[in-house]
Amino acid sequence: MDGVGVEVSKRPHAVCLPFPAQGHISPMMKLAKLLHHRGFHITFINSEYNHKRMLKSRGPSALHVSQDFCFEAIPDGLPLTDADATQDIPSLCDSTSKTCLGPFRNLLANPSLDKTLPPVTRIVSDGVMSFAIKAGEDLGIPVALFWTASACGFMGYTQYRQLIDKGLTPLRGTCYVT
């Protein structure tokens, strides 16, 4: 039994997969900590690039939250760099959508995950990392999408089709910007 009163092997195991940008990693980390507090085993998956940045800025102890909260990394598909800077977001969006499914699915299917953790019972993926749905379907693991945008930003996403239908976007030239 653990501190929550549930046998360790019967507790759910969630894999949390944020889009590899700060405004997505922080909210996903908060959700992962809340789930962990409620008794979930957590595997938090970063891009290799952000995994290295976290180790560099916070040291090796940053990745040792507890025995049942672990970190893994997958490649984001962009060329490796030692630059400590934000990656180009449009390139990152394109790259993750094209290259991350295989490494993510392989990690879930043949995990290097801590062998003391039970099998993954659910995936919580950033809505931008929608390839996780395919991985979940392939492996029979339920997937929940987590949108990290503000309510105002999310409302904008829901109105995007109407803006296109009304011809308001895409803009026809730079004179429409001001």
Distances (CA, A) of 169 to 73, 84, 176: 37, 34, 10
Determine whether 126 is an active site residue.
yes
Each of the 178 residues of the chain gets a pLDDT tens digit; together they read 454 555 656 899 999 999 998 889 999 999 999 999 999 999 999 998 888 888 877 777 777 778 899 999 999 888 777 666 677 788 888 889 999 999 999 999 875 556 677 899 999 999 999 999 999 999 999 999 999 888 888 888 888 899 889 888 887 777 777 6
Tokens (6 digits) for 109: 């299917």
Whole-angstrom distance between the N-terminal and C-terminal Cα of the chain?
Answer: 62
Q: What is the pLDDT of residue 112?
A: 56
CA distance 3 to 39: 8
Q: Which of 51, 68, 76, 126 is catalytic?
A: 126
User: For residue 1, what pLDDT is reported?
Assistant: 46
CB count within 10 Å of CB 73 equals 21
Say if residue 18 is preceded by a cis peptide, omega within 30 of 0. no
Structure-block tokens of residue 26: 């922080």
pLDDT of residue 113: 57
Q: Does domain 13-149 have CATH number 3.40.50.2000?
A: yes
Catalytic pick from 2, 13, 24, 94?
24
Asked if 51 is an active-site residue, the reply is no
